[in-house]
Every structure is written in C-alpha cells, then in structure tokens.
Structure 1
Amino acid sequence: MKTDTIFYTLFQTLPGVLFELLEQSQALALHYQFTSVEIKELARRIDGLFLPKPDFPEDQIYFVEVQFQRDDDIYWRIITEAFLYINQYKPQRRWQAVLLFAQRSLDPGVPFIYQTSLAQQQIRIIYLDELDDVPSSSIGLGVIKLVVATEDKAVQQAKNLINQVQQTDEANRSNLLELVERMLIYKFVNKTQQELEAMFGLTDWRQTKFYQEVKEETKQEVKEEVREETKLETIPRLLKFGLSIEQIAQALELNVEQVRQAIDKQGEEETESNS
C-alpha cells in the first residue's frame, strides 16, 4: 500500500489532522501551507512540510515523516534534512520534526546525540496503531485509523467513514469521498474495482481522476518489475563474458546483493535440475 501517497493526499485535503494528532486545535491549519521543497545539497525533496503563512510569524515549521517499515536511519535523515533546509532557506522560526510510525515496533529510538542536543519536544513521535484509544469524530483521524486497521476491522470502519463523509456539506463531500475511495483502493489491494463498489456501495469510479492516477501508477509498477526481471535474467550471460559481480551491478544499475542473490538462485536451480 502506498502510504506516502495516502498521507500526503490526506494532509493536502485535511491539513487539520496533523494538529489533531499533535493535540492542538485543527484551526491552526489555516495558518499553514502544506508543501514540498527541494534541498539542493541532497538533490531531493522534503514532501511533508508544514510552512506557516507570513501572517503568522510566531508559528513553527513542522517536518513530517510517515514510516510504515523499519528504517534505522529515519531520525538521522529527518534531522539532517531539517538542518539542510534551515541552512538553505534560513527561516527565522522554531521548528519540530514529527514522525508518524505505523506501530511502536518500527521505532528504532532517537539517537543519543539528538536526545542531548535538541530542545525538548523538538522531535514528536506518534504511533498510529495506538490511535484506537483516541475518541474522535474527525474524518481525517478516521482515514488514518483505517489505514492501520486490521483486515477484520477495516471493512466496517470504511463503511462508517463513508457514511460520515456523506453527511458533510456538499462543497467538501466530493473531495473527501475521493480521498476515502483512493485510500480504499490501496487498503484493499486484492479487491477488484467492482468488488469494492459492491462492498461499500460506491458509484462507478473508472472515469474519476484518482482512479486514472492509480491505474497509471500500477502500470509504472508493472513496467519496473518487468525491467528488473529482465536485468536479472541478463546476469548469467554477463558472468560468462567474465564480468565481476561489481561490474555487473554497475552495468545493470543493481546493487551487489541483488546480483549475488540472482547468481545463488541460478546455482540452486542448476543443482536441482542435475540431481
């Protein structure tokens, strides 16, 4: 499931949910623009950035990272990106790094050097699977809870969320429903479009913008998988030409471990066929 896509779409549509997670007023979202910025030194972008509008000079900057898999370098990376952004753009504001972990077990722990050098509350940590204990009628929190819900709970939660969205004012209903539908496609990845429509009473969405985006993303994923499979099939031929593992990895734009695994797999298959 593409959690980055879901969460950054959620922040764009309902920016107040960040402040709800931080136990602050959702109205603070009116002070902010949710954006992404380029960091030249890293040749990459920070995607989760809440920048205060000029009219609110006392509000702080929030660097937001969503983490759904184990990454032992997550704290090093987000703090490095924060300081590189500060060095490049030189904002005269306070700042805070917010890490949203799918579950507590994914948190590698704040490195000791940051525990001693950063101001208290400079890093805010939230475990999304523990939000079940937080009562709220917020649609934004409902989306987040659904993302981390187990399969046996997810269907009923999705139905409740759709009913909640359908009770909102007409001006916002379309965007909110599209957000929920986008999330359902990623959450129930093994269900077809027709099955999802039947499960949740949704209308045909094949012509909607988000469905076309998901369809295009799926095509790109398939292309990448085919491309990598083709590369792996090329490895035995390159070995016969006398290239080293490192040379093969460089030529095919793979890492050395991928090449080694492909060679080991080929050796196991040849052993089985000869036995």
Structure 2
Amino acid sequence: MSVRQTRKYTHKFHAPTTLKTDSIFYRIFQSLPSTFFELINQPASLAQAYQFSSVEVKQLAFRIDGVFLPNTSELPIYFAEVQFQPDKKFYSRLFAEIFNYLDKTELINNWGGVVIFPNRSVDTGATERYTELLNSPRVTRIYLDELTAIAASSIGIEAVKLIIEPESTATTKAIEIVNSARQQIIDAAQQREIIQLIETILIYKLPRLSREEMGKMFGLNELKQTRFYQEVFAEGKLEGKLEGKEEGKLETIPQLLALGLSIQQIAQALGLDEQVVRQAAQPKL
C-alpha cells in the first residue's frame, strides 16, 4: 500500500539498481491474487471473493495502492503494505492511512493489515503506541527470508521468494519458476504475464544480465514477450524475416544465436534443417 499525499514514498531494495518492490508485489497480487492469501495462511481459493485494486480518498487527496476489497460484507478488507527500507515513522503512517480510509468509506467490513518486509532487520518502525494492534490477529507481519517454512510453494510464492534470492542462484530459480508456469498455467496470457514478471525481477536484481543469458532462460515464443526482445527488434524486422523466404530466415540466425537460443531451438522455430542452421551460423571468412 503506497499512499501519495503531496509527496511520493519510494521503497528501495538493496540491489545493483533500485527495485520498486511495491509495484513488483502489486503485479504478483494482480496476476496471482491467491499468493496474498497463501502468505497470510488463508485458503488460496479465498482470492475468488476479492478484487485487488487501489482506493482513493478524495477528501484527503491520497490513494492507497494495495487493497483487497471483498465482494461481501462478511469478509474483511485487507491493506497490503510493502516496506523494504527502515523507517521509524512507518507504523504511525500506516495506521493513519488505514483509519483515515475506514473513516471516509461507506463500507462496513472489518479489516486486516499485512506488512511485507525482506527481513526483521528492516522492521524498525516505532511500535510503542501500536503494541496492542501489532500483537493482535488484525495485523500480520511477513518476513520474506523466513518463507522457507512454506513447504509446498506455489508459483506466486516462488516469485515472491525470487525477490530476495541471492544473485548467485537467482537465474537458476527463475528458470525453475518459468518452467513451472509453462507446466501449470494453461491460459497463455497469464503465462506470458508471469514470464514478464520474472524477467522484471531479474532485470532489477541482475542489471548486467545479457541478452544471451536471457535467451537461455526462455524459449523463442516466451522470449518474444520479454523487454529484451522488444527493445532489440522493436522495428519488427525479425518478425518479417521469420515469416518470409529462406534467405530472410538465414539472416536471422546470428541474431537468434546472440540471444542465446540453441541450434535445435532455431531450427525448430524457423522450420529449417539443423545442418542448414549450423552452416549459416559459421563465421564468414
């Protein structure tokens, strides 16, 4: 839940570049809303009764970005906040925002607050005034480095874990998540969204990741959905060649090799014999 009121709060993740963790989490919650309920030990099926969105309090000119609104008055409203940097005034701001919203809305639902930290060391907000709330079931604090306790992890939970995965194993973990998405998710649009999400996390975690390395992680169809592919071939030249004559297809082979695809993958994608692809891949003397 990011609230903007004359100033903008930015959450930072300590990586080579700034990772906008709140927007990453909100994308996860939009694509796989069941992930949120898994994080708070609720049935994943409960997501069907909620809509994840932002809410605006016009009287006070602020917006709360991470809110799960139920479709029935019997279920609580959940406010989701992502906090990746220490902030002494975090809890005072958090509860002020929640209670301001509850005061202005006509909804009669109960409520719950969920705060996501990378680890306990970031949880440095002053708590003296809010001890009763924080010690009650009404507020749930989640520390990502402790999620290993979840034995059977879903794709959503694994995507969340990837955010704090060590750089040395992040690529391997990302490949596992992408492969799981291909096997478990039937809807093509949702599958592309998950792959784009994993790519976004990796780009922020590993800004020096090359096109070759990205290509090894994704097949040709999935690679077309990534930012790398769209930036390199934004003019659509490659698409036209892939659909054109054999001469045009041969011209694309060095480019596809540079993206990390194998001879076998290229041959399959272009409808060419592997030997033809190998010959075209040989450097010209």
**TM-score, reference length from structure 1:** 0.69
Between stretches 75-84 and 106-115, larger displacement belongs to 106-115
Q: Residue 218 of structure 2 is aligned with which of 193, 196, 201?
A: 201
Matches within 5 A, 1:215-254: none
1:202 shift after superposition:
4.3
Q: Which has the higher helix share?
A: 1
Change in CA separation of 1:96 and 1:124 when aligned onto 2, cut-off 3 Å: same
2:46 maps to what in 1? Answer: 28
Distance 1:118 1:150 in 2: 30
Q: Which one of 21, 27, 32 corresponds to residue 9 of structure 1? A: 27
Aligned residue runs from structure 1 range 107-118, under 5 A: 107-109=123-125, 111-116=127-132
Q: Which of 167, 178, 186 is residue 162 of structure 1 equivalent to? A: 178
1:77 aligns to what SS in structure 2? helix
2:128 pairs with 1:92: no
2:151 to 124, 135, 142: 135
Q: Match of 2:56?
A: 38
Once residues 141 and 206 of structure 1 are traced to their aligned partners in structure 2, the CA distance between those partners, rounded to angstroms, is 23
Unaligned runs of 5+ in 1: 216-275
How many residues align structurally? 210
Q: What is the alpha-carbon distance in structure 2 between the residues aligned to residue 193 and residue 149 of structure 1?
A: 21
Contact 1:65 1:98 in 2 (8 A): yes
Distance 1:145-1:206 versus aligned 2 partners, 3 A rule: closer
Structure 1 residue 123 and structure 2 residue 139: aligned?
yes
Aligned to 2:272: none
Structure 2 gap ranges (5+): 1-18, 232-285
Output the TM-score relative to the length of structure 2.
Answer: 0.67
Q: Report the AA paired with residue 218 of structure 2.
A: G
Query: Paired residue for 1:233?
Result: none
Inter-CA distance 202–71: structure 2 relative to 1 (3 Å threshold): farther
Which structure is richer in relative contact order (CA contacts within 8 A, separation 6 or more)? Answer: 2
Contact 1:197 1:204 in 2 (8 A): no
Give secondary structure in 1 for the equivalent of 2:180.
helix
Contact 2:167 2:205 in 1 (8 A): no
What is aligned with 1:59?
75
Separation in structure 1 between the aligned mates of residue 183 and residue 80 of structure 2, nearest angstrom:
30
- Pair 137,125 (structure 1): closer, same or farther in 2 beyond 3 Å: closer
